[in-house]
Chains A and B, each alone.
Chain A
Amino acid sequence: MSNRVVVLGVGVTKFEREPTKRMDTMAREAALMALKDAEITYGDVQMGFVGNVYQPGMAPLVFYTLAKTGIPITRIDIACASGTRSAEFAAYLIEAGAYDTIMVVGVERMPKGMVPMPIDPEALSMRNEMLYQGIVGLITMPGAYAHKAVRYMHLYGAKPEHFAQVSVKNHKNACLNPNAMYQSEMSLEEVLSSRMVSYPLTLYQCCANSSGAAAVVLCSEKKARQYTNNPVFLTGWGEASIKFKHDDPVESTLSEGDTEGAAKKAYERAGIGPEDVNLAQVHDAFTSGEIVLLEELGLCPKGEGAIYTWEGKTEIGGKIPVNTDGGLLGCGHPLGATGCRMIAETYWQLNGQAGRRQVENAKIGIVQNSGLGGTNVMVFQT
């Protein structure tokens, strides 16, 4: 016997460029919003996960400031995919009937500048491939995305402006999202002429560090029926890391994981195909990411992601709206919080609560969230 999993409530704080609040403050804010939205109290929560990358000890720091109810709490770190990985673990436990109501909080507090990389001088004595590449200067966060973009342009004739258009769209969508860090539009020219970071990715094609929190309450269908007649179901999910690919060294070395494989599992469990998807929140840490992900998620044919984007098919009113709340590019990227933000946006869309961002007839929404070490794909349906 397996239980269906429901998203009962969500909460997202305003994402900030310069942090003004403590991490536990932001986490608590999001958690309380989610509890209120779910119409439950913290006493109903049976387990807590916190998705957070930089701060060991975050589980008690977050949950003890809510209350000490004795529930098991755990911090999950799989880089930028921590939020959704936490939610997936919660989903497995609820499905199995082990726990009924689980809260997932994603939170991160980050300074401006480049995301710190684990480069250790001691690594000189280690034969660790990634650390060696770091010392030489081959590893940069735009790395995989820049390499993928150059290869993509070579294979399919795409142009730098096709990638830049992703940033234009997502900044425009962010203006419709009061929680987003960025609240002004950017022209294609502005994006393309910003500082080159790693060819062909310019500064405004790279997501910015941010501070913020997002929380999600997940529960069984049985529990949910006490509170709502129209639950938002989490019907399928899949997770993966890098799967070595014989003819693709970028995929085998720098990618964030086998998203195609994770998506297949998620669609299969949900009993749908990519053609059924009404909207998608995907990991646009860098513009080329969104374009390649469209194809990896089966949302458009291989090689057509750039043109799909260029022709407006991924706009809110388009064929398959992508990153309706601004995505990482428009909202900013507090690492642990991003996955939960994506789940929240999907929940609001499926509930008809997305305001000016609302996609018509949103019934099936997917989330794809990835980071160094992992990728997660989740399917939500009403």
Chain B
Amino acid sequence: MAEETKKKVPLVKGMIKILPDGQANLVGMKCNSCSEIMFPKTTLCGACGKEDVEEIDLSTRGKVWTFTTVHVSYGSICLTPPYVAAFVELEDGGYVYTPILGCEPEDVKIGMDVELELLKTGESEEGETVIYAFRPVEA
């Protein structure tokens, strides 16, 4: 009998879309007034303040735009220093502030190709709670 895979549940609602087959993408926002793509969603466009915004699925791939390695942390529910915090520029526009996992901090470089992954932070009644992170694309 196949082992039941635990359902993945985003820790904070509204940021991640997880499909039944496990595929996931971040959910952002596009402004129809100024065309900015932003993540996460907000009620008004965070750039121009207009209300004509709509939800969009964001690319799961991007490049590291800048980063730092956190050695002294303010506390985290899932990360132990040293860990990398980075701004990733997504393929189809928009930026995400995210941990970078799956490599040594020294290996992170501006311009590096990365892709979305989900990191388990704990368990809830509904399944595994997850946050988003990015990892280097396998060469």
Mark A residues whose CB is within 8 Å of B. Answer: 114, 117, 119, 124, 126-127, 129, 132-143, 146-151, 154, 195-201, 244, 246, 249-250, 252-253
Contact = CB atoms under 8 A, between A and B. Distances in A.
24 contacts: A119-B74, A119-B75, A127-B12, A127-B14, A129-B42, A136-B76, A136-B77, A137-B70, A137-B76, A138-B85, A140-B72, A140-B73, A140-B74, A141-B74, A143-B85, A146-B68, A147-B67, A147-B85, A147-B87, A154-B66, A195-B71, A196-B71, A199-B71, A252-B46
B128 interface: no
Nearest to A253: B97
A10 B85 CA distance: 42
Nearest to B83: A137
B110 A154 contact: yes
A201 B82 CA distance: 13
A132 B73 contact: no
A199 B69 contact: yes
B6 interface: no
A136 B66 contact: no
B110 A132 contact: no
Contact of A138 (B13, B69, B97): B97
A136 B122 CA distance: 13
B59 to A, nearest CB: 15
A158 to B, nearest CB: 14
Given A127-B14, A132-B15, A249-B95, A150 B71 contact: no
- Which of B12, B36, B105 gathers most chain A CB within 10 Å? B12
B78 interface: yes
Interface string B11-54: 11111000000000000000000001000111000111000000
- Which of B11, B47, B70, B73 gathers most chain A CB within 10 Å? B70
B99 interface: yes
A47 to B, nearest CB: 32
A146 B74 CA distance: 15
B137 interface: no
Nearest to A123: B12
A137 B73 contact: yes
A141 B75 CA distance: 12
B40 A129 contact: yes
A198 B105 CA distance: 11
Contacts of A140: 70, 72-74, 85
A133 B71 contact: no
Contacts of B72: 114, 140, 195, 197-198
A370 to B, nearest CB: 19
A170 to B, nearest CB: 21
The 5 nearest A-B residue pairs measured at CB: A137-B76, A249-B95, A146-B68, A199-B69, A244-B47
Given A138-B97, A246-B47, A199 B68 contact: yes
